[in-house]
Structure 1
Amino acid sequence: MTTDMRHAVVDVLEDADAVAMKMAELFISTVKDRPEGKVRIALSGGSTPKKLFAILARPDMARQVDWSRVELFYGDERYVAEGHADSNHASARELLLSKVAIPAGQVHPMPTTTTAKEDAALYQATLQKAYGATELEAGRPLFDLVMLGLGTDGHTASLFPGESVLEEKKAWVGVADPSTAPHERLTLTYPAIASSSLVVFLVTGDNKVPMLARLRQGDGSIPSGRIVSEGKILILADRAAAGERS
């Protein structure tokens, strides 16, 4: 059964640190709950994921993960050179990947070396190889876990308002070039995100109050409000984002 944003579960936590810790626990349980085969996880960029990466890199947390079975992908990436300060992969590599025993071949950064359109096709091919098919099949999710953020304009991943990638129905990876944010970007599309067992939004800060309210209503006029999943959708929000006073 497909879950839309109106049926997402909302968990309001004390602050951004608590959101990151809860996400770390979900990451660990996602791997543990699937004892066989690879566990495919799509990472997000942003400040709260950086806190998450630091937590997962701690020896007491890292040892709870069988990294040999984890296969990591990205929800989006800025089209910048490898190692650039704005790169989601560079942040993940510095804070997490360089500190845990995950095989290098199981980390799949979005390529940014030719053109965005060509690299989107290359990344789709990478996903198809991992999935073992060129078409998404109902009941066989591409991802076990997809992490997403929420922008103050309602975007998620790099699905920005007004971008043509919002209308993509078949491709798994697309290109966005938002006028409201720096850099051209690669992004997972709605069909790729929908092919998931669990989607988790990480939402922190009082500047997210208006958009979080719209997200929870499933407001289809904002890109994040159109997210669906074959499995479950969970929103992890801190009290500030939820509009709750301490």
Structure 2
Amino acid sequence: MSRRVRVFENLEELSRAALERLQGQLRSTSGPFRLSLAGGGTPRELYRMMAGADLPWDRLHLYWGDERYVPHDHPDSNYRMVCEALLDFVAVSPDRIHPWPYLHTPEDSAQAYDRLLQEARMDLVILGMGDDGHTASLFPGTSALEVRDRRAVAHYVEKLKTFRLTTTYPVINEAPLVMFLISGASKAPALEQVLTGRDLPSARVENVGETLFLVDRPAAARLPAELLPPA
């Protein structure tokens, strides 16, 4: 595993760099390309840019790293957010779009996604990070952090008073490239802790290839100089 940090002036520049890296990964590979998408506000700008980019949609398979246990048309749905920012504007075959199913119980949904992911190895995982250092729906102090025999789980997040569905570290850590997209001053304390050894969920991402942190200047405000790229 190698970690690298790149700092940008704003979210637009950060998102443009993420798109360029995605395009580079696609050019350097052939065949099906499995992309795991993040929810939250920060990745939305990247998805808007993807909608206007020349991408080989006939190669891409889209997955979701986590989801809220809500119907697909619910305002809180990560799937709905990606549709509104990206999928409503591009021609992607439905058999290449793999959202979490909304089934009778959260566990039913998680088991179905776990089965789907048994044979699916991600080529690129996009992640965000919360103010508390969580990523996907892997929250501090939750049982999902310790799961190694499942690729997708449902768990109740006490601080949110709700169920979340999430892929687990085995899915994330087998990817050759993981890109964290992190924006905003509120993320600065957690980012500092993640990159200086604090045991937060985002720090447990130790994938087999490269982990790339694309961050804007406010999020990077507390990083020590040795972690920053050369000027």
CA distance in 2, matches of 1:30, 1:100: 20
The counterpart of 1:241, out of the listed 205, 214, 219, is: 219
CA distance in 1, matches of 2:75, 2:196: 35
CA distance in 2, matches of 1:182, 1:80: 14
The counterpart of 1:156, out of the listed 117, 121, 135, is: 135
Asked if 1:46 corresponds to 2:40, the answer is yes
Question: Taking structure 1 as the reference length, what is the TM-score of the superposition?
Answer: 0.87
Alignment of 1:18-33 (within 5 A): 18-33=13-28
How many residues align? The count is 222
User: What residue is the counterpart of 1:173 in the other structure?
Assistant: 152
Asked if 1:184 corresponds to 2:163, the answer is yes
Q: Could you tell me which runs of 5 or more consecutive residues in structure 1 were left unpaired when the two chains were aligned.
A: 132-141
Asked if 1:57 corresponds to 2:51, the answer is yes
Check conservation: 1:148, 1:200, Cα contact below 8 A. Answer: yes
The counterpart of 1:67, out of the listed 57, 62, 70, is: 57
SS in 2 for 1:170: coil
Letter in 2 for 1:84: H
User: What residue is the counterpart of 2:194 in the other structure?
Assistant: 215
Asked if 1:225 corresponds to 2:219, the answer is no
After the TM superposition, which of the residue ranges 196-205 and 171-180 deviates more from structure 2?
171-180
Letter in 1 for 2:207: S
User: What residue is the counterpart of 2:112 in the other structure?
Assistant: 122
The counterpart of 1:106, out of the listed 73, 93, 96, is: 96
Q: CA RMSD in A?
A: 1.3
Alignment of 1:66-105 (within 5 A): 66-105=56-95
Q: Percent identity among equivalent residues?
A: 38
Note the C-alpha offset of 1:128: 2.2
Q: State the Cα deviation string for residues 38-67 of structure 1 (Å, max 9, x = none).
A: 000000011121111111112xx1x2x110
Question: Taking structure 2 as the reference length, what is the TM-score of the superposition?
Answer: 0.92
Check conservation: 1:218, 1:226, Cα contact below 8 A. Answer: no
Q: State the Cα deviation string for residues 92-114 of structure 1 (Å, max 9, x = none).
A: 01111121122111010011222
Check conservation: 1:68, 1:101, Cα contact below 8 A. Answer: no
User: What residue is the counterpart of 2:229 in the other structure?
Assistant: none
Check conservation: 2:70, 2:76, Cα contact below 8 A. Answer: yes
CA distance in 2, matches of 1:183, 1:79: 8
SS in 1 for 2:170: helix
Q: Could you tell me which runs of 5 or more consecutive residues in structure 2 were left unpaired when the two chains were aligned.
A: 223-231
Q: State the Cα deviation string for residues 146-170 of structure 1 (Å, max 9, x = none).
A: 0111111111000001111111011
SS in 2 for 1:124: helix
Which aligned runs of 4 or more in structure 1 are off by greater than 6 angstroms?
none
Return closer, same or farther for 1:83/1:182 CA change in 2, 3 Å cut-off.
Answer: farther
User: What residue is the counterpart of 2:228 in the other structure?
Assistant: none
